[in-house]
Amino acid sequence: MESISRLAGRRPGGSRAGRVASALSIALLAMSAAGGVQAAQLMCGPGATPLRISTAKATWSTDARYVSAPAGAAAAIVDDYKWRGWFNPTTSTHPASAGALAGQPLQGKWLSFGDAQYPTGAAGNTGTGPYPAVITDGNVANGALVARRVSFTYNEKITIGPNVDLSSIKLTGSGGFDDSTDLLVKPDTTPSGATDWIRTSASFGGFGAPSLISVDGANTGMGFYYGDNTIGFAVVNTFYAPTTSAGNPTGLFADFQITADCLTEPEPVASAVLSCAPDAADGTPVEIGPFFTNARDWKWAMRTDSGALVENTVPEQPLFDDYKYRSWFNPAKLAAGQETSARWISPGTTSPGTADLPGVPYPAATGQTKFGYYGSVFTMNQAITVANNVDLDSIKLTGRFAFDDTGDSVYVKPATAASHYTPFKHLLPDGYGGFTGSVASPFTTATIPGFEVGDNTIGLVLDGGQLRNDCGSGVCALGAIAEFKVTATCKAPAPDPATGTQTINFRAPNPGVYSATNGSTVAWSPTPPLKSSADIDVTYSTSTPGVCSVNASTGAVTLVTPAVAGSCTITANAAAGTWTDPNDSTNVVAISAAPSVTQTMEITLLKTQEITFLAQESRKVPDGAFAVDPAAQASSLLPVVYTSLTQSICSVTSDGTVTPKRNGVCTIAADQPGNAEYAAAERVTQDITLTDAPVVITQVPTLDILGLSLLSLLGAGAGGLALRRRKRAE
């Protein structure tokens, strides 16, 4: 088992970007401090045991001040006082819910300031007073960490190494708190550089018997971050005012362990070359990957600023893979068989909510929002190299994807091109609560335009709906997570000019339909080439002059005025000539005329639309009919019509009610036939795997009173968050 070790005097180094959570658990090794304040280092390594922290006067401090010196030195903590209602730790054990400590004797003592009002022994209290009066509702101006609270902090720093999964840190044990108490975490440095950030979370109470301390970083933004962290408890007296230790001793007892999970660097991708075997037949499938999003291998390459596109900003705005908005799924917690090495990549938020992870502020960032087209582009550092025997018009991504909020398209920029491919097509799914696609049934995009032979930079185009990441409670968070392969089919490579032949890379337009409502200048993409493979000028002509004209030299297409619906057909030619070997100027080859290439684009007088139809979950035949979920949606918002393409396996009504018939793959097509305003949309299909396996019912664990209370509090917060997306502050 890998574990966390504690090494005093050392600090972790190295990059924390691009970590991948392993299933190996780590713990904190407890070693004796050899004088001075040392650091308990959370670092993966063999031979460690969990750190056990308990309340002891010698290892805990306070920010409380005496009533007689409110701006003076901190008050003294005492551990010889016991209020009559506090449980006796020497005769108590950890409750059954205290994890690995369950049933063990409690360690530590009650920490307090004693009682400045009642003499020793009065009303059943015990101690060796007198005890001076202490202010127990903290004043930040006088040194309190948390306003209106008094804090007890552990003297030893908790140092978290770069290979620790922040969302997996757990505190487990039991304690007693008089009165209401929050967990306090103060990282020395946050991603934003702030050094005064304090997170209070995970409220505790109870003093008559040991109560559960159970805080899981997968559910709670505790505020731990890489480097040194101060931990403690912030206590508030909820019954008396003014709040001093006169009659209100303010006690604290705690005995708990800290554990976490290890992270390992993701394995580098073995190959990013999309190439077919020399003898591969036309149409043979080929793929590379998988590729995974993480901060090591991806960057924030493009953003918008005041509506203008900004590329390769200096200094570069960072991406992080340790931030998770509270509604994003945790990739480290996926079910068995669905594990992933992908991480959420995000600029984070300057104002995290109480359940955002890890619960610390990130640098301010602008340029997230969608200004009428698209917002941010996260690109992969590793180029995708496409060989000349790959069909460029067949390239797709297949895998699992999630975005906050919108995945717009796949960014493609060939190394040989001056700019990225435009326009974008809506190719990627939306959503943030779970992956679209699964290991068994991955999501597959439509064909992705823009790739060329050679190196290509690819990325994810996404929109969070907000310009900045500074909305309150983290609601401006922008993020993406993806695990995918790049797929294509093979085709015969283009002839080498050295053989005396040439080809023209004039490719089919994508999209293949253009609406005249967008203007008379046709966005023919990919852009028609100016030169052939032998570097001879390409000339263009139209065979449909009643619909469109074409610039003979550039291939730019223009519609007739007024526009006419129909086919716009363009032919590319390259005349015979000569080719000079770039490596040997004396080698001049006679080149025959290129075979002409003809492509057609449909021109419509109607607006165009497209259908978004996301991947579907598997279903059980015995469960009967079900609705298509998520439903397909046309960009025009016109109703989508469904059709079953596998009638022997399933049927479907036009509005999307599927009736399974037998085991197999049920293929559903989504169509939108258009109307007087919109042209028909291109058909989109999705597969639904049907089985007759029994449904597995997972028993819900029973919660104790504290668990039910926490669940109630979380539920109250979740209700307000359910409608978060799509209507957020700009």
pLDDT tens readout for residues 551-584: 999 999 999 999 999 999 999 999 999 999 888 8
Average pLDDT value over all residues in the chain: 83
**Identical fold, 497-604 and 611-691:** yes
Does 318 have pLDDT greater than 80? yes
For residue 71, which of 22, 12, 10, 143 has the smallest C-alpha distance? 143
For residue 522, which of 568, 571, 565, 573 has the smallest C-alpha distance? 568
d(CA 266, CA 261) in angstroms, rounded, equals 15
Q: What are phi and psi of 711, to 5 degrees?
A: -60, -40
Task: Give 431's Cβ-side CA count (13 Å radius).
Answer: 18
277-286 pLDDT, tens digit per residue, is 988 888 999 9
Annotate 563-592 with b (16+ C-beta within 10 A) or e (fewer). Answer: beeeebbbbbbbeebebeeeeeeeeebebe
More confident residue, 701 or 120: 120
Q: How far is CA 637 from CA 464, 672, 677, 681, in A?
A: 21, 10, 12, 11
Does 226 have pLDDT greater than 60? yes
Question: What's the pTM value of the predicted model, to 2 decimals?
Answer: 0.75
Is the domain 611-691 a CATH 2.60.40.60 member?
yes
Q: So what CATH class is 497-604?
A: mainly beta
More confident residue, 206 or 64: 64
d(CA 33, CA 45) in angstroms, rounded, equals 19
pLDDT score of 306: 62
What value does the mean pLDDT take over residues 674-688? 88
pLDDT score of 47: 58
Tokens of 157: 């720093």
The DSSP secondary structure of 646-685, one letter per residue, reads -TTTEEE-TTSEEEE-SSEEEEEEEE----SSBPPPPPEE
**Strand pairing of 51-54 and 577-580?**
unpaired
More confident residue, 36 or 693: 693
pLDDT score of 543: 97
pLDDT score of 284: 94
More confident residue, 243 or 696: 243
Q: 13-22, 101-110, 178-187: which has the minimum mean pLDDT?
A: 13-22
Per-domain residue ranges for the chain? Answer: 52-258, 273-489, 497-604, 611-691
Does 45 have pLDDT greater than 80? no
pLDDT score of 53: 94
Please report, rounded to a whole number, the percentage of residues in the chain having pLDDT higher than 70.
85
What value does the mean pLDDT take over residues 509-513? 84
pLDDT score of 12: 29
Does 11 have pLDDT greater than 60? no
Tokens of 481: 């997570």
Annotate 445-457 with b (16+ C-beta within 10 A) or e (fewer). Answer: bbbbbbbbbebbb
pLDDT score of 119: 63
What value does the mean pLDDT take over residues 676-699? 74
More confident residue, 225 or 43: 225
Cis peptide before 526 (omega within 30 of 0): yes
Does 288 have pLDDT greater than 80? yes
Does 714 have pLDDT greater than 90? no
Quick one: how far is CA 292 from the chain centroid?
11
Is the domain 52-258 a CATH 2.20.25 member?
no
d(CA 522, CA 408) in angstroms, rounded, equals 22
pLDDT score of 370: 57
Which contacts qualify for 623-631: CB closer than 8 Å, 24 or more apart?
A: 623/660, 623/695, 624/659, 624/660, 625/657, 625/658, 625/659, 625/660, 626/657, 626/658, 626/660, 627/656, 627/657, 627/658, 628/652, 628/656, 628/657, 628/658, 628/668, 630/431, 631/656
Cis peptide before 179 (omega within 30 of 0): yes
**Helix then strand then coil, % of the chain, to nearest 5:** 5, 35, 55
Q: Assign 311 a pLDDT band (cuts: 50, 70, 90).
A: confident
pLDDT score of 418: 78
- Cβ atoms within 10 Å, residue 620: 15
**Strand pairing of 684-691 and 619-620?**
parallel
Tokens of 288: 């590379």
- Contact between 362 and 192 under an 8 Å Cβ cutoff? The reply is yes
418-465 pLDDT, tens digit per residue, is 777 766 667 888 778 889 889 998 999 988 888 999 999 999 988 877
d(CA 481, CA 328) in angstroms, rounded, equals 10
Tokens of 544: 């449909």
**Strand pairing of 180-187 and 227-236?**
antiparallel
- Cβ atoms within 10 Å, residue 138: 24
More confident residue, 310 or 372: 310
Distance linking the first and last C-alpha atoms of the chain: 47
d(CA 438, CA 492) in angstroms, rounded, equals 33
Question: What residues form DSSP beta bridges with 531?
Answer: 537
What value does the mean pLDDT take over residues 155-175? 92
More confident residue, 54 or 305: 54
The burial class, CB within 10 Å (0-12 / 13-18 / 19+), for 170 is buried
pLDDT score of 718: 33
What value does the mean pLDDT take over residues 656-685? 90
